[in-house]
């Protein structure tokens, strides 16, 4: 696992009050112990477990999980969303689009975690700013 510095954290272990609760959708790739309803921190823990299980947090990983690399990945995956709307106002394949949106969210949650940003609080703070903003 990558050793943390003052601005980066190592991935957490999964746990918490919902760690043992079974999911209804056990057929998907997510383990059956994943809670049915999750908050951002719980989703981030599952994302970090996946990255750890793949070995990508290891110091010798060929896919270093640095904030810069993850930020680049957010942009690359966001661009892939645009492909679904190229020459069309509706996505050609909504299921594939959902996968691209999930890729962006996965990287975004991981980036916020690595940089010790409370994404829930950041979203709420930004919504407050936007409510007070004049859009005209």
Tens digit of each residue's pLDDT (9 = 90 or more) over 73-130 = 999 999 999 999 999 999 989 999 999 999 999 999 999 999 999 999 999 999 999 9
User: Other C-beta atoms within 10 Å of 113: how many?
Assistant: 24
Q: Residue 113's closest CA among 49, 62, 53, 63? A: 49
Give this prediction's pTM. Answer: 0.74
CATH number of 63-132: 1.10.287.1080
Residue 44 has pLDDT above 60, yes or no: yes
Q: Phi-psi region for residue 87, left (φ > 0), alpha (ψ -120 to 50) or beta?
A: left
Over range 7-24, report the average pLDDT: 46
Site of tokens 């010798």: 60
CA–CA distance, 17 with 35 (Å, rounded to integer):
9
Q: Where are the domains of the chain?
A: 63-132
């Amino acid at each position: 696992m990558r050793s943390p510095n003052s601005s980066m954290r190592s991935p957490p272990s999964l746990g918490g009050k919902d760690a043992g609760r079974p999911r209804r959708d056990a057929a998907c790739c997510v383990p059956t112990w994943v809670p049915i309803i999750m908050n951002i921190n719980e989703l981030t823990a599952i994302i970090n477990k996946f990255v750890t299980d793949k070995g990508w947090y290891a110091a010798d990983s060929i896919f270093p999980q640095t904030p810069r690399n993850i930020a680049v990945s957010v942009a690359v995956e966001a661009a892939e969303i645009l492909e679904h709307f190229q020459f069309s106002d509706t996505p050609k394949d909504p299921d594939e689009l959902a996968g691209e949106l999930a890729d962006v969210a996965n990287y975004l949650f991981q980036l916020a975690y690595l940089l010790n940003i409370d994404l829930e609080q950041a979203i709420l703070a930004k919504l407050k700013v936007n409510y007070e903003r004049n859009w005209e």
